[in-house]
Amino acid sequence: MSQNNPASDIRTQLIADGVTTPIFTGGEPKSPNEVITIYNTSEEPPSPKFLLDFPGLQVRCRSTSYDAAYAILLGVFDILVGRPPFVVSTTRYTGVMATTNILEIGRDENDRRILVFNLKLITEAQKGTQHRKAL
């Protein structure tokens, strides 16, 4: 598995890329109204021989406006999907692919819109473990 938390790494990268909407990982606060939340998901199992992993992410945006949530997610989508390799801490991200388009999954208890899209990442950890070797 990736040596870093992929959701946290992607949060760090989005902030470095200038995203100003508040970004959280693993849980969404009650306020503010407009937030991005990134959750770790699963895509494919990791390589048993090499430090090559395929984590998944769900990127979620909550807003009082459907159009605002969509625009925020489209900006994030454009920053991440298909970008060249980049390194955050000790993990090299060599691929970021969307596995869904942006879609609405409903509203929260305060009638705010929730939109999401899902990603598959390809990561290469930079140092080996007992049984897996760096590429």
CA quadruple 9, 26, 19, 53: dihedral positive or negative? positive
pLDDT of residue 135: 66
pLDDT of residue 45: 80
The rounded distance, in Å, linking the Cα atoms of 8 and 88 is 10
pLDDT of residue 49: 75
Condensed to tens digits (0 to 9), the pLDDT of residues 24-53 reads 999 999 999 999 999 999 878 877 777 788
pTM for the model stands at 0.90
Average pLDDT over residues 97-114: 97
pLDDT of residue 4: 80
Average pLDDT over residues 16-27: 97
- Say which CATH class 6-125 falls into: alpha beta
Better-scored residue on pLDDT, 43 or 97:
97
pLDDT of residue 89: 84
Alpha-carbon torsion angle 13, 126, 98, 18, nearest 10: 10
pLDDT of residue 65: 97
Mean of all residue pLDDT scores within the chain: 91
Average pLDDT over residues 102-122: 97
For the chain, the domains span 6-125
The rounded distance, in Å, linking the Cα atoms of 119 and 97 is 6
Taking each helix axis from N to C end, the angle separating 66-80 and 6-16, rounded to the nearest 10 degrees, works out to 100
Condensed to tens digits (0 to 9), the pLDDT of residues 57-87 reads 999 999 999 999 999 999 999 999 999 999 9
